[in-house]
Amino acid sequence: MREPQEQQQEPEAEEPQGEGPDDAGPDDEGPRPLGVGTRPTGHGGVDAHLVRLADADHLGVPGHLEVYEDVHRGLRETLAALDQPAGPPVPGPPHTSRS
């Protein structure tokens, strides 16, 4: 009878550590893409501000705050503009008096 041979397994290749955005240490201020996806809202002003969020993906962590504040400010201004009348009131039809 033959004894079972021990199978030698090749050692698995180790994956490099610390190369992904989630592996960055707390002191790492390099770019950390968030991958925030947006869909068109149908309002051009709002859509433009939401697209600006993608700018944060190319900045280091300290730069994210500036982008977020800029987008927030823009969205607030857009919302406030919706509460403003579109322009001066439209004059009504002229009064005709029949005497």
Tens of pLDDT, residue by residue over 41-70, are: 999 999 999 999 888 888 888 888 999 999
Per-residue pLDDT at 10: 56
CB atoms within 10 A of CB 49: 21
Q: Is residue 51 part of a domain?
A: yes
* pLDDT greater than 60 at residue 22: no
Please tell me whether the overall predicted TM-score, pTM, comes out greater than 0.75 for this model: no
Residues 6+ apart with CB under 8 A from 57: 31, 33, 34, 35, 36
Residues 6+ apart with CB under 8 A from 59: 31, 66, 67
Q: Is residue 78 part of a domain?
A: yes
Q: Is residue 7 part of a domain?
A: no
Reported as a pLDDT band with limits 50, 70 and 90, residue 93 is confident
Closest CA to 49 of 32, 29, 70: 70
Q: Is residue 6 part of a domain?
A: no
- Domain count within the chain: 1
Q: Is residue 9 part of a domain?
A: no
Q: Is residue 13 part of a domain?
A: no
Task: Select, from the ranges 20-24, 51-55, 71-75, 87-91, the one with the highest average predicted confidence (pLDDT).
Answer: 71-75
User: Which residues form the domain of 72?
Assistant: 44-82
CA distance 27 to 18: 13
